[in-house]
Structure 1
């Protein structure tokens, strides 16, 4: 029980119950006071109403006495007296009936007031009955007196009635006046008493509400304010907040949960700080390693460029001498199809190879630039065929070029020739078993085109796009060799010149070589007029 009372919920219920009891008490007092005041006011109004009835009765009795006295003095007969007194008699009888009805209602209302009140009302009823009996006897005497002796005694009857009726009427009026005054006095007394009780209940309510606020609400609000401040500190990542856990109520449990939470957050913050420090250390180490690796790569790239430059220089010098000797010999009359002509052609091809090496080296270093000149695509294909004829024939394969010349296109002639040579080299590596490579040139729809087809095993259709990506190759293909450019670089070169490159496998029927599926790559370049 004590443990339950220590909870905030129990204390709130207790204080709410006390305040509710005060409210119920105030309501009960209001209802009781209102009912009591209503009863007293009704009693005063009833007494006043009966006093008015008695006043009417007094007027009617006075009129009755005047008429009766006149009739007695004049000595009129019984019929005449009955005629004169008939209306007054009925009015007085009706007034007595109303007075009796009022008394009956008063007696009924007095049942709730106790035995004494009922006794007083019954006593008044007896007085009314005597007055009514006295009046009835007198009126009966006047109506029935016929003899001279009876008529002579009417004057005495009137005097006797007046002497007997007047004290009874005065006593009844006095009783009703006292009852009215007593009811009004009780109203004042009850009002004063209810006022004092209302003040007492109001003071008690103020004490209870003040005690509820000062003893329960304000301390809890202070604790909640402290919790709010702690929440603000936690939001600012200050996890050194410690709330008191001296109470076992709901807010105390919330304080304890908040302390556990801040402790967990503090531990997590420390762990995150440690992890962050280790991560920064790792990043610093990796950054240093990347810088060193980048420096090594830059040095290797510089060495590579220097090597190509040196090789180019070392090769160009003897090639220049060889070309000069061959040209001098040809100018001196040596035949074009003789040894000196062969030497000149081989030297020129070797010179183009050196240019290709330097061009590839520049492309890998990010300094590739493309020209946009008009040239004959068929002638560029013929140059690529001449460059690749020796390795193709050494592999036991045939290499042919078909199509009408010229095919004027716009682009970089040397790079297009290198693209064509690279496509031939790809077919040489991957379609060696087929034995045939065919180049075809043509033009149409604003483009010149070059098709390189072979009769090898072909490429899986699902892998066509993959082999066009950088470093991509088929599952069954041989790994790239030599210095020829790959399909990814070929696509980039052609696309940058406003064209496109389309691989297909198997080769479409009009271009197929034999029964093998084969592979065909078509290069489209804008025509020279575009």
Structure 2
């Protein structure tokens, strides 16, 4: 779009320059034509002056009348000399014409033989006729050149106008296309946000309803045992944790989209972080009758990153795994080192993901068909991808050959860690 704007501006500038050049050419041509016309008129007046001097001599007019006619003749020669441009040859010719005029006047005043006067007058008349013919030829040539120049400039101006029109049409079409695409994007975003708010309200209402139900059942049974009350409270705590995770996802992804989410960089023992995150998810998994199995090495794995947000990303993936695990199933969580990087895997025993849904599984607001049936906001995995990528890592999803979905996360090891030095 910027290139089209620059092209349009250049074509408009070319059009303006062409019009200004055309105007300047016409003004110069008019000035030159005015000078040539004035010279032609002066040449006619000089012919008339020569004829008058010759006639006055033939009629025997007084010296004063002849001198008056001679002064007019000389004045016209001086006026023509002032019209000449800086052309040495033309100026020299005009001065020679002045000298011939002086000789003619002297012959007229001397009263000598008329044949010399007539010969001088004829010579001057032929010169003036030649000048008049030269002026006419110059005007004809100037008119031809002006016509050619005007045609060229007019053609250039028309070409520039047509090119500008074409560029403007293309720019308008492209702008219309961009506006239409932006409008479609806004509509898609609006639809996604509407879906998100609907899903978020359902997702947040579910744990609240469970917590309220557990509390109401416990309060309604005056004979409830301590074990029953503790079990109810554990369900309340697990769902409260789940609710807190969802709120953190919403706030985190919103801050990430606005560029306000700040990640700290500090050495982290990834093995300890994964174990702590697994413990935090155990209660919710237990309330959903899912067993969480952790496999981790005894040696630490050091990375650089933000422990809080990495933990939140892992919780989002674990919550997703719990949601898709069958009752009585096992959600496997493992951490280790592979190919010189820290590796985390979360594998559920659910039905897996349709191959067409795998590439979009980490997109915000996107949910596969199974996810839509089980509820959710479609934000947890999007937040996990954002956090992992901010740490220089990668997150991938694939269907496990044994069944279920496998989420694999790779993170770079800290440069000063033993594993990094060994790699």
Task: Give TM class, smaller chain.
Answer: 0.3 to 0.5
Choose 1 or 2 for highest CA Rg. Answer: 1
TM-score normalised to the size of structure 1? 0.34
Higher relative contact order (CA 8 A, sep 6+): 2
